[in-house]
Amino acid sequence: MRDYGLLLSMLVAFAVPSLLARLWPLRTFDLPAGFLDAALMPTAAGLAVGRLTAIALDDPRSIGRVADILVVRSGVEFWPGVIAAVVTASWSARRAGTAPLARLADIAPLGMLGYAGYEVTCLVRDGCYGPHSGFGLVPDGLLSRMLPVGVLIAAVIAASAVIVRQAQLRGSSPVLVVLTGIAVISTTRAVGSFWLPKVGDGLTRQHLSSIIVSAASIVLGVVAIVGSRRTRQVAT
């Protein structure tokens, strides 16, 4: 059965940053390149690794069964997928003679917009779930309104992408740009997950991993800022 909602979500995730790349041109490519040129191979690697990781954790017996692997809707581990995408983009940059961190910082704002586009399309997938609220949407199959957490996550990340882009243009270090993007996405996912439906009382695996990545990226960001200030002080 074709999953048109998921297909539309992927199209939006690529279309939004591809269009905005005309206003935010990528600067670490030898020739004028669009978002697809920068993101297609890392995204494919991320989906593959994220899906295989989910299968390995949930049902190792499915590894090797192509039909089971291709059912992406059954689960993709987000952060292992992100790591695979980052490694792939870094490898591609190194092959092109570009500093990997510079390439990652170049892609980061558009990548954030792509993820925001994916989150907002909860409207066409299973519905945008969240806490019961007098203001919100009614997901398919339910009778009460819920605050659309996915839409709110998309709005926060899209607004933050603009801030990250401005920081990049002002000459912020690539490592700080990348860490800021990761911190925004992980923290927003971690906070939003408190209001998403789940089975059981504990934190889900995806929720816990977002909390860990959020804490790590914030700590590393603070270290990067302090290190940058000390370097400037020594230079002066």
Give the residue among 128, 133, 124, 126 at the shortest CA–CA distance from 152. Answer: 128
What band does 3 get if pLDDT is binned at 50, 70 and 90?
A: low
Mean pLDDT across 200-214: 91
Which pLDDT score, from 0 to 100, does residue 72 have? Answer: 64
pTM of the model: 0.90
Which pLDDT score, from 0 to 100, does residue 1 have? Answer: 47
Mean pLDDT across 159-180: 94
Mean pLDDT across 67-77: 70
Given a contact cutoff of 8 angstroms between Cβ atoms, the answer to whether 106 and 37 are in contact is no
Q: What's the burial of 83, exposed, middle or buried (CB within 10 Å: 0-12/13-18/19+)?
A: middle
Range among 140-149, 181-190, 224-233 rated most confident: 181-190
Q: Count the neighbouring beta carbons within 10 Å of the beta carbon of residue 96.
A: 11
Report CA-CA distances (Å) from 60 to 25, 71, 85, 108, 129.
42, 15, 23, 33, 29
Mean pLDDT across 41-45: 95
Which pLDDT score, from 0 to 100, does residue 165 have? Answer: 96
**Cα 4 to Cα 124: distance, rounded to the nearest angstrom:** 9
- Structure token digits, residue 220: 């590393």
Asked whether the predicted pLDDT for residue 235 surpasses 50, the reply is: yes
Q: What's the burial of 148, exposed, middle or buried (CB within 10 Å: 0-12/13-18/19+)?
A: buried
Percent with pLDDT over 90 in the chain: 58
- Structure token digits, residue 141: 């199959």
- Structure token digits, residue 108: 């980061």
Residue partners of 139: CB distance under 8 A and separation at least 6: 126, 127, 128, 129, 146
Given a contact cutoff of 8 angstroms between Cβ atoms, the answer to whether 18 and 34 are in contact is yes
More confident residue, 101 or 232: 101
Q: What length does the chain have?
A: 236
What band does 15 get if pLDDT is binned at 50, 70 and 90?
A: very high
Q: Where are the beta strands (DSSP E) in 24-168?
A: 132-137, 146
**Cα 220 to Cα 214: distance, rounded to the nearest angstrom:** 10
**In this structure, what are the phi and psi dihedrals at residue 29, rounded to the nearest 5 degrees?**
-115, 145
**In this structure, what are the phi and psi dihedrals at residue 128, rounded to the nearest 5 degrees?**
-95, 105
Which pLDDT score, from 0 to 100, does residue 100 have? Answer: 95
Given a contact cutoff of 8 angstroms between Cβ atoms, the answer to whether 105 and 164 are in contact is no
